[in-house]
Chain A
Amino acid sequence: MKIPAHRRHTLANGTRLILLPRHEVPLIAFEAVMRGGARLDSPSRAGLAAVSAALLTRGAAGRDAHAFAEAVEGAGGSLEADAHSEAIALHGQFLARDRELMLELLSDGLQRPRFEASELDIVCTRRIEFIKAAKDSEPQSLIGLYGRALLFADHPFGKPVGGSESSLACLTRADVLGFYRDHIGADRLTLVFAGDFDPDWMLEAVTAAFGSWGVARELLSPLSAPPRVQGRNVLLIDAPDSTQTYFWIGNTGVARSYPQRAALEITNTAFGGSFGSMLMQALRVKSGLTYSVSSNFRRGTVPADFAINSFTRAESTGEALDLALNTLSTLKREGAGERSLASARNYILGQYPLGFETAADWASALAELDLYELPESYIDEFAHSLHSVDAAASQRVVENAYPDAADVEIVLIGDAARIRADAARLGPVREKSLAAPDFYAPAA
């Protein structure tokens, strides 16, 4: 799998442009990535970047929120804005015939947002209600927020990207205008277009639309690497009447630039990234304790979290947690085994092309390379690098990327009255109610 032919340009104001034409279907996909993102939020303003991003598409230039949505959907297009720890991104697709409209909306959203107070109120209110609704109907979707708050504490990765009920309630229009002034501008922007267009036309049109945009007021500060934790802490989130316990076991993992990436991906596929993985075999296939279990590394410019995620019925909480931790210990002690590693390599190789099928896939992949300053060989040489991974390489990854089972933070969401004793066996426990309006761990 090689990156198809594409062009790169940098406008005088610093905006980077990547153009990858493909003509199979009459669609153009785009990614507009604004470096910075939620890591810039102050702790009491968690969610500011995400809310600012959402507001970019809720009224801009001559269109109010409704007219903006009508313009996008009237053309059968899509244009979504969101944030993650290190960037704000606008992404979507339009039919090729609507390319001028697409550029107009993208450029209005980024350069001429209205930031109306009434829209800010709508966005924050709705996000608060979505968090509450998730507590009622899918508590597992929140567990990583508690986990990262516990693990990263004061580091920027500890804040909930989308905000909490309490932080969202405090956001003001002045906060949003300040964030926009300081952290959104031409020098932070990379635009990627992939699909059915003429690159000469696109370069000219983008230059006309973005060439005179000014820069963000602040320079982007470097991000420090969060430390790994030692020992164990348990955060028990009390969800009375929950029929099962959701659990998250984590520690700080590795960065995007981690040099042994191929070995890491193979090892993690074998440990918790496939149906045949060690975790899935132990917790589902052999014991029936859960429907699903996985392990995952979130990798940023600096290391983010490694976590094991699963759930089980309340009565089997202790058994499932012991088994997950024991499986981690087995990995640390014995590695994943030659046969599993070979299988994982083939699995990744076989599935790899499916991630690079559409113009939208390529737009997203090129935007990711740009954001994390990764070379093109990150994609072009990946398949080749998988072949050089042997058991010894995997063992080195097990040693330096995975935590010891004794050094993990653990979050449980469940009925505290039923699982408190199980939690106490794992380490010192702090408790918090699922109803509490933020995700922070109470002081130890």
Chain B
Amino acid sequence: MDMEDPRPGGEFAGACANVSSLKLANGLNVLVWSDHNIPNIALYNIVRVGSRNEGAGTSGLAHFFEHMMFNGTTRRAAGEFDRLMEAQGVSNNAYTSQDVTVYQDWLPRAALEMVLELESDRIANLAFDPEVIENERKVVYSERRLRVEDSNAALLEEQVQASAFIAHPYRIPTIGWPADIQSWTLADLQRFYRTYYAPNNCTLLLVGDVEAEEAFALAQKYFEPIPARESAPPVLTLEPVQRGERRLVLERAGLNPLLQYAYHAIAAADTREPALNILQTILLGGDASRLHRALVEERALAVAIGGGWPEGFDPNIFSIHATLPEGGDLDALESALDGELARVLRDGVTELELRRAKNLIAAEFWRGVSTIDGKARLLGEYAVMHGDHRLLFAAPGLYEQVSRAQVEQVAREVFNPERRTVGVLRPLSEAA
């Protein structure tokens, strides 16, 4: 097979010339990537607030707030936002992570001005109607039941996350603890809005059928009048080094045992990031990956194995999670998984595995930049999580340069049994 890399970093790096950036007087960072393939634009507004910014009693607030951002402003009634958008051919969505809250619109280019006006309105003038808040509280609780409470896999993940961190707010589930969902007050929401929803805490990305000058002029028209606010309080807590493995066992009605390992890892901006992603792909990316092959295909101890790590502002966990067949042997899987990880530390990875991972990641980059949405997502990740959007265009080259030694080094640093949390879910049969 041809091992030459035909996807020169240079070709990708050239695309950087199509991205323009502007910082408005109020601190809003605006990025524009012109792409005229289809007559549409993807808009992302990334607010630097997530469950990482929460504490006792306020868990889930960032996510709840994401819902409230669709529920009306002092100028527009609840429902108007979506009604106006849909009537102009615009779809929208939003999501909240541990680190950020992201608002997304996919629009025909003719709707650009209206969309920027609506987006600026909800950053400047959000309304807090007590009745709307109570209704939305029920919706969020329904989302929690769907995503977590009726899901053994999600319940285990939530418990492992909460056990892996004792100090850092990454222990908080983004959807929120049930009691907190029931108890936030209007005052909590207003304080949250004033603290985090400031132009100087946002990054606005426009990718697609628009020129930078036009986008900047509209951003200035609608966003620049919004005053900057005092910087949000930084999250200073650092998770202390874990001293000894933690374990938890859940017993729940169900059929399939589940196993999750969570190792303390690194932050997105860490220089070891490409090496850790290559390691992840070697171990877990695809049917030919090492752990899938050994544990699912060859030894059939698990029916599925996956994992990864959230790339955040602070070091988060690298998880490996496995689903066992009904009646599967958790101890045997654990011991085989430990053996495979020990083998990585002892014997390292092969040149062929490294090449496969690099090719998969390179193809993923190309698939990512083949849509305006993928471009916006990647650009946003680098602009916010890595601190500079230009790093996106350097990334393919950086991945290409990663050596086996660097992959093995990051494996030794991450796969430390003393710094892991092991979660197990043992199903209780209905008859028990």
Task: Known A-B contacts: A291-B140, A291-B143. Give 12 more (CB < 8 A).
Answer: A25-B370, A76-B361, A285-B78, A290-B139, A291-B139, A311-B142, A313-B142, A347-B86, A347-B87, A350-B40, A351-B91, A357-B372
Tell me the complex Cα distance, A312–B138, Å: 10
Tell me the complex Cα distance, A66–B290, Å: 11
Tell me the complex Cα distance, A101–B359, Å: 14
- Given known pairs A288-B135, A313-B145, the reply for A73 and B286 (CB within 8 Å) is yes
B77 to chain A, nearest CB (A): 11
Q: Which of A6-14, A129-137, A177-185, A399-407 interfaces with chain B? A: A129-137
A131 to chain B, nearest CB (A): 9
- Given known pairs A75-B359, A122-B300, A347-B86, the reply for A312 and B7 (CB within 8 Å) is no
Q: Does A358 contact B (CB under 8 A)?
A: yes
Q: Name which residue of chain B comes closest to A287, CB basis.
A: B135
Tell me the complex Cα distance, A348–B359, Å: 37
Q: Does A244 contact B (CB under 8 A)?
A: yes
**Interface residue ranges of B377-432 to A (CB < 8 Å):** 427, 430
Report yes or no: A130 in contact with B151, Cβ–Cβ below 8 A.
Answer: no
**Interface residue ranges of B101-137 to A (CB < 8 Å):** 106-108, 111, 134-137
Report yes or no: A97 in contact with B326, Cβ–Cβ below 8 A.
Answer: no
Q: Does A377 contact B (CB under 8 A)?
A: no
- Given known pairs A74-B1, A76-B360, A435-B430, the reply for A132 and B256 (CB within 8 Å) is yes
- Given known pairs A244-B145, A291-B143, A347-B86, the reply for A70 and B288 (CB within 8 Å) is yes
Q: Which of A66, A95, A130 contacts B288 (CB 8 A)?
A: A66
Chain B positions within 8 Å of A94 at CB level: 363
Q: Which of B143, B303, B360 contacts A125 (CB 8 A)?
A: B303
Q: Does A330 contact B (CB under 8 A)?
A: no
Q: Which of B151, B152, B297, B370 contacts A122 (CB 8 A)?
A: B297
Q: Which of A73, A98, A243 contacts B360 (CB 8 A)?
A: A73
Report yes or no: A244 in contact with B89, Cβ–Cβ below 8 A.
Answer: no
Chain A positions within 8 Å of B287 at CB level: 65-66, 69, 73
- Given known pairs A242-B150, A435-B430, the reply for A346 and B288 (CB within 8 Å) is no
Q: Name which residue of chain B comes closest to A100, CB basis.
A: B2
Report yes or no: A354 in contact with B363, Cβ–Cβ below 8 A.
Answer: no
Q: Name which residue of chain A comes closest to B2, CB basis.
A: A97
Report yes or no: A244 in contact with B253, Cβ–Cβ below 8 A.
Answer: no
Q: Does B325 contact A (CB under 8 A)?
A: yes
Per the CB 8 Å criterion, the residue count for chain B at the interface is 78
Report yes or no: A244 in contact with B150, Cβ–Cβ below 8 A.
Answer: yes
Report yes or no: A26 in contact with B366, Cβ–Cβ below 8 A.
Answer: yes
Report yes or no: B325 in contact with A129, Cβ–Cβ below 8 A.
Answer: yes
Report yes or no: A358 in contact with B83, Cβ–Cβ below 8 A.
Answer: no
Tell me the complex Cα distance, A360–B360, Å: 17
Chain B positions within 8 Å of A66 at CB level: 287-288, 293, 297
18 contacting pairs across A/B (C-beta < 8 A)? A70-B288, A76-B358, A76-B361, A76-B362, A95-B363, A132-B255, A133-B303, A136-B152, A137-B151, A137-B154, A140-B146, A281-B79, A285-B78, A288-B135, A342-B87, A347-B90, A348-B89, A358-B370
**Interface residue ranges of A213-272 to B (CB < 8 Å):** 240-244
B404 to chain A, nearest CB (A): 16
Report yes or no: A126 in contact with B363, Cβ–Cβ below 8 A.
Answer: no
Report yes or no: B360 in contact with A136, Cβ–Cβ below 8 A.
Answer: no
Report yes or no: B136 in contact with A288, Cβ–Cβ below 8 A.
Answer: yes
Residues of chain B whose beta carbon lies under 8 Å from any beta carbon of chain A? 1-2, 6-7, 37-40, 78-79, 82-83, 86-92, 106-108, 111, 134-143, 145-146, 149-154, 253-256, 285-289, 293, 296-297, 300, 303-304, 323, 325-326, 352, 355-356, 358-364, 366-367, 369-373, 427, 430
Report yes or no: B430 in contact with A358, Cβ–Cβ below 8 A.
Answer: no
Tell me the complex Cα distance, A311–B141, Å: 12
Chain A positions within 8 Å of B359 at CB level: 73-76, 95
Q: Name which residue of chain B comes closest to A119, CB basis.
A: B297
Q: Which of A139, A348, A360 contacts B150 (CB 8 A)?
A: A139
Q: Name which residue of chain A comes closest to B360, CB basis.
A: A76
Q: Does A24 contact B (CB under 8 A)?
A: yes
Tell me the complex Cα distance, A135–B255, Å: 8
Interface size class for chain A? 35 or more
Q: Does A329 contact B (CB under 8 A)?
A: no
Most buried by B among A126, A137, A242, A276: A137
Chain A positions within 8 Å of B79 at CB level: 276, 281, 285
- Given known pairs A242-B150, A357-B37, the reply for A288 and B363 (CB within 8 Å) is no
Encode contact with B along A83-98: 1 for CB under 8 Å, 0 otherwise. Answer: 0000000000111111
Chain B positions within 8 Å of A158 at CB level: none
B395 to chain A, nearest CB (A): 15
Q: Which of A27, A70, A74, A243 contacts B149 (CB 8 A)?
A: A243
Q: Does A77 contact B (CB under 8 A)?
A: yes
Q: Does A343 contact B (CB under 8 A)?
A: yes
B274 to chain A, nearest CB (A): 16
Most buried by B among A96, A312, A343, A360: A343
Report yes or no: A350 in contact with B370, Cβ–Cβ below 8 A.
Answer: no
B287 to chain A, nearest CB (A): 4
Report yes or no: B139 in contact with A288, Cβ–Cβ below 8 A.
Answer: yes
Tell me the complex Cα distance, A292–B143, Å: 8
Report yes or no: B7 in contact with A350, Cβ–Cβ below 8 A.
Answer: no
Q: Name which residue of chain B comes closest to A140, CB basis.
A: B146
- Given known pairs A26-B6, A136-B152, A313-B142, the reply for A275 and B86 (CB within 8 Å) is yes
A406 to chain B, nearest CB (A): 28
Chain B positions within 8 Å of A288 at CB level: 134-139, 142
What 9 pairs between A and B have smallest CB-CB spacing? A350-B89, A76-B359, A288-B138, A76-B363, A69-B287, A136-B254, A343-B87, A353-B38, A129-B303
Encode contact with B along A1-40: 1 for CB under 8 Å, 0 otherwise. Answer: 0000000000000000000000011110000000000000
Chain A positions within 8 Å of B87 at CB level: 342-343, 346-347
Q: Name which residue of chain A comes closest to B111, CB basis.
A: A350
**Interface residue ranges of A366-414 to B (CB < 8 Å):** none
Tell me the complex Cα distance, A240–B428, Å: 12
Chain A positions within 8 Å of B366 at CB level: 25-27, 95
Report yes or no: A138 in contact with B300, Cβ–Cβ below 8 A.
Answer: no
A363 to chain B, nearest CB (A): 13
Report yes or no: A350 in contact with B427, Cβ–Cβ below 8 A.
Answer: no
- Given known pairs A73-B285, A95-B363, A125-B303, the reply for A349 and B153 (CB within 8 Å) is no
Report yes or no: A357 in contact with B355, Cβ–Cβ below 8 A.
Answer: no
**Interface residue ranges of A143-193 to B (CB < 8 Å):** none
Q: Name which residue of chain B comes closest to A94, CB basis.
A: B363
Chain B positions within 8 Å of A96 at CB level: 6
Tell me the complex Cα distance, A130–B134, Å: 37
Chain B positions within 8 Å of A307 at CB level: none
Tell me the complex Cα distance, A304–B140, Å: 33
Report yes or no: B363 in contact with A343, Cβ–Cβ below 8 A.
Answer: no
B11 to chain A, nearest CB (A): 9
Tell me the complex Cα distance, A101–B1, Å: 9
Q: Does A274 contact B (CB under 8 A)?
A: yes
Tell me the complex Cα distance, A359–B149, Å: 39
Tell me the complex Cα distance, A313–B87, Å: 32
Tell me the complex Cα distance, A344–B296, Å: 46
Report yes or no: B38 in contact with A357, Cβ–Cβ below 8 A.
Answer: yes
A85 to chain B, nearest CB (A): 25
B415 to chain A, nearest CB (A): 22
Most buried by A among B111, B141, B150, B358: B150
Most buried by B among A289, A313, A354: A354
B22 to chain A, nearest CB (A): 26
B159 to chain A, nearest CB (A): 14
B229 to chain A, nearest CB (A): 29
- Given known pairs A69-B287, A125-B303, the reply for A347 and B89 (CB within 8 Å) is yes
